Structure 1
Amino acid sequence: MTETDYGRRRPLLRVRGRSIAWLPPLLLLVGVILLDFNTGEHFRIITWIVLVPGTAAAMCGVWTTAAYSVLALVTYVAVDSAWPAEYQAGFGDFLLVALGGTLATLAAALRMRQERQLLHIQDIAETTRRTVLRPLPSGWAGLEHAGVYLAADVDARVGGDFYDIQPGPHGTRVLVGDVQGKGLGAVEAAAALLGTFREAGYHEKDLTTIAGRLEIRMLRHRTHTAALGRADGDRFATAVLIGFPEDDPGVIDLVNFGHEPPLAVGPHGVRELPCGDGVPLGLADLAGGLPPVHRVPLAADETLLLVTDGVTEARDRPGAFFPLAEEVARAVRADPDRTEPRRLVRRVRDGVLRHSAGRLEDDTTIFAVRRLRGVPEREGARGVRQGRGRRPELPGDAG
């Protein structure tokens, strides 16, 4: 669904892009007329025409429903008058059809009002999602990437999962994480962490400093929510922070805050990178400090696959978890080109939905990233350094 779809009512029945919601009430109208003429005089069903505006109220707009109400009333008079006087349904049924049409029109107006309110709420949720999970340009900072976010609540469209890429003068940084809990409180925490990451990821040279800034931001956010008297003052977040060093394109730096371990997916197989040897963001005082920075090799033809626990904890009907590594390894063996980020993300997404039969118990994020072939990562960050002379970087800037 595109951004322009929000705030606009979409007809229930469409054929080749055109609405046919008006067709079922019309067919019902014709059917009642034919049945009335083909049944005996002692069995009149013309009164059933009151179902026509009722059907229109459930499927059509207000003016279409009103038109069917008038049409049903006129048709009732015409068909009833065609019978001899002793077999006519009479004025009482005329009032029933008129009252049914009026109530159907009012019901259509109430339904349309509720639909507009729902569309407005969805529009707000989509705007919030785009604010938290900002669109990333293709080839951003010399990285090829693809990501998908699936909310467990399909109407909410937004949750506590987050990911972003931040280029800067010290290299490109990637953050993928999952805030504990659900609802707007989780969205607020995710937005706070992303705001800090976008600033620190640009300015700070060391990944350890960025990790410290994220930990402090989580603590400050918890303090603020607790001061407001909210019950989510102990919220935390798992995350993976990755740095792509400019001076060594064959490695990455990685800090894992108790998150699912990333997978390095290449044409020759799948390997698991360092697991969550640290505690989640907001709980560093329990472990006596921040998790360490790991420097691990990453070949030019390998893609980093990062997921939230909505993927690894997806269950099928018997209760078995989704076998992420095995599924990806099987796909790569069948087609080595599946290491391309978009195809890899699509494969995992389809596998999770198939495994869980579409029943997601938690928000699900799948994010894949790798260096662009033939484009050194330092060239992706060069434009950022050159742009520093144009105007100062402000908090919250998209880049």
Structure 2
Amino acid sequence: MRSQMVLRRLPFVVMGLVALVDVLVGPSLGFLPLLTLGPTFASVSGSVRRTAAVGALAVTICIPLAAYSHLLGKPQNNLTIATIAGITCASMLASWLRTRRERELANVRMVAEAAQRVLLRPVPRRAGELRIALSYTSAAAEAQIGGDLYEVVTTPDGVRLLIGDVQGKGLEAVETAAWVLGAFRESAYDQPELLGVAERLETSLARHLGGEKFVTAILAEVRGDDILLLNCGHPAPVVLSQDGEVRHAEPPEEGAPLGLGQLGLSLPKPYHVPFAHGDQILFYTDGVIEARNRDGEFYPLEERTHLLLGPDPQEALDQLRADLLHHVGGPVPDDAAMLLLRRHGA
């Protein structure tokens, strides 16, 4: 990368400038202590050995410059050399700590990538007449997984999918997401009805969740010319009809999130939404619609749905994600997952 190349050259450029200025100004002003900038900058991107070599080069430059200014052997120059040596040793320690931290971070990333492959497997891009696109943006800068979850499976009963959001953040949320995904992947093939799948998820969460923790989710099943939805307290998906109409697929009645069955709350009932050839439906988590810009304005998802009209579903969804990040002006404050289903003509 260009930035890495600049950082590698920076110590030599700085020491060259210090030497040039010292020669031009003369002994009236002492610029030689600024040679310590060389090993200091070297520790930012270089190894311990490279930092030591830059420090040795700084001492090598300092000696002839001191002789040129008639300072060689004087206490002032001896203190400068000692300062360069001390800063070099400190920079070598900083470089060692930095490289160790980078190795630890690389290991953490490898673990996160492995967890992502297990938990959030790549969804199929095609399933019969459906074209599927996915976008997932984690709120954690160094993480690729979080509390949002998704899955798409093709079963004898049709294409079934799940998108959800676990209450909370961190490793505990990831663990809960793992339980939900595991239960869905098993029950999606075993249960003939979508409500049965939701009941299996509720049973699984009842064994593992405590207190008042919950998971908002939508389960969906594509059959015939419509799509069956079961909304457990999740934001309603957006349907884009072939004729240009945009509407929210709101449930007939508000449903309780998964995991609250122990409080006496029953699961919601499935409902049908027309999903004809040429239609699209966008599932998303609340990290999308609750993303704010610097003025505190929420992301206007419904006004941006025209970005999904491109010929390729994944490219269209990538444009929507880029527009979301542009609206926020930086990292998203919460995990943001989007799943787009497009039904092609027969």
The SS at the match of 1:255 is: strand
TM-score (norm 1): 0.79
Alignment of 1:191-210 (within 5 A): 191-210=178-197
Aligned to 1:353: 325
Q: Give the alignment partner of residue 273 of structure 1, picking from 230, 249, 253.
A: 249
Q: Paired residue for 2:119?
A: 132
Deviations 1:186-232, CA, capped at 9 Å, x for gaps: 1111110100111111222111111111111111111xxx4xxxxxx
CA deviation after TM superposition for structure 1 residue 340, in Å: 4.4
Is residue 256 of structure 1 aligned with residue 215 of structure 2? no
Q: Which residue of 2 aligns with 1:363?
A: 335
Residue type of the partner of 2:171? L
1:303 and 1:341 in contact (8 A); partners too: no
- Aligned 8 A contact 2:213 2:260 in 1: no
Q: Tell me the CA shift for residue 164 of structure 1.
A: 0.6
The aligned amino acid for 2:140 is D
- How far off is 1:66 after superposition? 1.7
Question: What is the Cα deviation at residue 165 of structure 1?
Answer: 0.5
Runs of 5+ in structure 2 lacking a partner? none
Residue 54 (structure 2) aligns with? 68
Q: What SS is found at the alignment partner of 2:198?
A: helix
Which of 297, 305, 318 aligns to 1:320? It is 297
Between stretches 140-149 and 55-64, larger displacement belongs to 140-149
Aligned to 1:154: 141
SS of 1:158 mapped into structure 2: coil
> Measured at CA, do residues 190 and 142 of structure 1 come closer, stay the same or move farther in structure 2, by a change above 3 Å?
farther
SS of 2:273's equivalent? Answer: strand
Please name the residue that 1:239 is paired with. Answer: 217
CA contact (8 A) 2:152 2:161 kept: yes
Letter of the structure 1 residue corresponding to residue 235 of structure 2? E
Give the paired residue count: 343
1:13 to 3, 22, 43: 3
Pick closer, same or farther for the CA change 1:74–1:140 going to 2, 3 Å: farther
Which residue type is aligned with residue 273 of structure 1?
A: A
Of residues 92-101 and 293-302 in structure 1, the stretch that sits farther from structure 2 once superposed is: 92-101
Q: Do the aligned partners of 1:22 and 1:64 also contact (CA within 8 Å) in 2? A: no
Q: 1:301 to 1:317 in 2, by over 3 A?
A: same
* 1:130 maps to amino acid: R
1:84 corresponds to which residue?
A: 70
* Structure-1 separation of matches of 2:331 and 2:6: 31
Q: What percent of counterpart residues are identical?
A: 34
Deviation at 1:325, TM superposition (A): 1.4
Secondary structure of the 2:254 match is coil
The SS at the match of 1:205 is coil
Which 4+ stretches in 1 moved above 6 angstroms? Answer: none
> CA offset at residue 367 of structure 1?
1.2
Contact 1:237 1:280 in 2 (8 A): yes
Q: Contact 2:240/2:279 (CA < 8 Å) preserved in 1? A: yes
Shift of 1:80: 1.8
- Give 1:239 shift: 0.6
Greater shift, 117-126 or 308-317, is seen at: 117-126
Whole-angstrom CA distance in 1 between matches of 2:38 and 2:14? 6
Aligned counterparts of 2:80 and 2:299: Cα–Cα separation in 1:
60
Which amino acid is 1:323 matched to?
Answer: P
Question: 1:358-389 deviations in whole A, cap 9, x for unaligned?
Answer: 25232111111234554xxxxxxxxxxxxxxx
Matches within 5 A, 1:384-395: none
CA RMSD of aligned residues (A): 2.3
Q: Does 1:37 align with 2:9?
A: no
Quote the offset at 1:287 in angstroms: 6.1
1:176 aligns with 2:152: no
1:287-324 deviation digits (Å, cap 9, x = unpaired): 65221111221011111101101111122333332221
1:305 lines up with 2:275 in the alignment: no
Conserved 8 A contact 2:14-2:38: yes
Shift of residue 142, structure 1, vs aligned partner: 5.4
